[in-house]
Amino acid sequence: MSRPPAIVLVRPQLGENIGMAARAMANCGLDELRIVAPRDGWPNPAARAAAAGGNAVIDSARVFDTAAEAAADLQLVLATTARPRDVEKPVHGPREAARLLRESGARAGILFGPERSGLDNDEVGLAAAVVEAPLNPDFPSLNLAQAVLLMAWEWRMAGPPSETPVPSELAAAEAFEGFWRHLDGALDAAGYYREPKLKPTVQRNLRAIFARAGLTDQEVRTLRGVIARLSAGGRAKDY
């Protein structure tokens, strides 16, 4: 049986929403809550009150400074968004995403952005794929806790996978970050980013290609070898 995904609330504003999200998680059998830079600090009495029977989820929640830190050990990160982004990533509905989570066997997490603004582009950049629910196009914006319920419910309904999943060899987010910094730094040194204004867009697009591929640890090492070798012009020792 695959372990339930971690729910990662990024910069949540209202304690009530954190509590209601925890309650929805408990309803659906999810227990791992990660909170990134909660606006009103932590612990938050309003969150605990709103969690009702889900307060064990609140009590065991872990707090992080950044989404990247919260996702560091995760092998499969999904980002929820209310509207399509310009990044080139696969977009799944919640039902499809839940199936993907069940089948991958990876240590997974789902990112949810702040109530007002949603995830920023760098945070979406941490994810291998985007989850977007096919809601009323005139009013697609779900309350934060409702969005968590929707994913938790779909995960629950996607049921245990038919076979026991093979333990995933996907690289954890931290290893992926190391690879990305290596590539980015090599490109900087080589003068690849000629237009400062375009740099963030070029970085985002380039990163999305590799995020989407779902790299294993071995593949991360291979690509780092490629970067080292190409940028050294034959002088590097890495293979």
Task: Tell whether residue 230 is a contact of its own copies (CB under 8 A).
Answer: yes
171: left (phi over 0), alpha (psi -120 to 50) or beta: beta
User: Please, which of residues 119-138 interact with its own copies by CB under 8 A?
Assistant: 133-136
Near its own copies by CB under 8 A: residue from 43, 45, 59, 226: 226
Residues 118, 140: contact at Cβ < 8 Å?
A: no
- Considering only 7-15, 64-72, 97-105, 215-223, which stretch makes contact with its own copies by CB under 8 A? 215-223
Helices (H), ranges, 126-198: 144-157, 173-189
By CB under 8 A, how many residues form the interface with its own copies?
A: 66
Task: Tell whether residue 157 is a contact of its own copies (CB under 8 A).
Answer: yes
How many whole angstroms separate alpha carbon 199 and alpha carbon 239? 29
CA nearest neighbour of 201 among 86, 95, 104: 86
CA nearest neighbour of 236 among 187, 191, 192, 186: 186
Chain residues that interact with its own copies, rule: CB under 8 A: 20, 23-24, 26-29, 52-54, 84, 88, 91, 95, 133-136, 139-143, 145-146, 149-150, 153, 156-157, 161-162, 165, 168, 183, 186-187, 189-192, 194, 202, 205-206, 209-210, 212-216, 218-219, 222-223, 225-227, 229-234, 239
